[in-house]
Structures are given as structure tokens and as C-alpha cells.
A = this chain, B = another copy of it.
């Protein structure tokens, strides 16, 4: 994937740090927190500062490259966002899965007089793995 091009398209200058962060997000769809991103990448970029990660995530968020989501214990994690899709968070193990199944989407609808331009669906429950373990 040509992240340089993607960032330029969004008017974001493609610095080394930003490129590493976006590549990390794309390759590891684990919905990391700022701290997780910082810890993973400081091996690769020893001078990396937390501030840069904060700034970058804010920048990416305002360009809709990422979306913040709340984890079970109210921590902010980021997903690398492309398609409109839902999340499934397991109440047993805490893992957050992407769900690509399409639901009744409502983009551009008018709801209670408000014009919808974005939407997000969050699901919670027990994931397939934990279900298996319970039944074992």
C-alpha cells in the first residue's frame, strides 16, 4: 500500500513517523491505545516521542483515517478505519474484533430531523473462542 500517496491525498505530509504509524495500524489490526503504539514503535524509531503519537492520532482522526473506540475499561483505543463496519468486544476476554457483516445502514438518512453522515455500530457479547472454551 502506498501510504505516502494516501497521506498526501488527505493533505498530510508523509513524514517517517506518520508512515510508520499508519503502516503499523494497517498491519496490526489490534485497536491499540496511544501507549501501545508508542511501545511498539519505539523499537523501530528510538527517538519517537509520545507527543508525536498523540499528535498523529489526532491528525489521523480528523482525516478519518482512524476512529477512537472505548475499550471495556474506558480506555481510548484506535482502529484503522476504512470501511464502515461494526465492532464486537468480548465481555470475557476483552478482545475487540472487526465485524464486516453489513447491517441496515443509514448513511445520509434523516433521523429525528438530524442528517446522518457517519455511523458506527458497537456490539458486545461472548466471542467464538470464549464460547468454545465454555462449551468444552
Copies in the complex: 2
Considering only CB atoms and an 8 Å cut-off, how many residues of chain A contact the other chain?
A: 36
Q: Mark A52-87, 1 if CB is under 8 A from B, else 0.
A: 000000000100000011100010100000000010
Chain B residues near A104 (CB-CB < 8 A):
103-104
Question: Quick check: B124 and A111 within 8 Å, CB to CB?
Answer: no
- In the complex, what distance in Å separates the CA atom of A108 from the CA atom of B107? 24
Least CB distance from A74 to B in Å reads 5
- In the complex, what distance in Å separates the CA atom of A99 from the CA atom of B90? 25
Q: Mark A92-136, 1 if CB is under 8 A from B, else 0.
A: 000001011101101000011111111111111111100100000
**A residues lining the B interface (CB < 8 Å):** 61, 68-70, 74, 76, 86, 88, 90-91, 97, 99-101, 103-104, 106, 111-128, 131
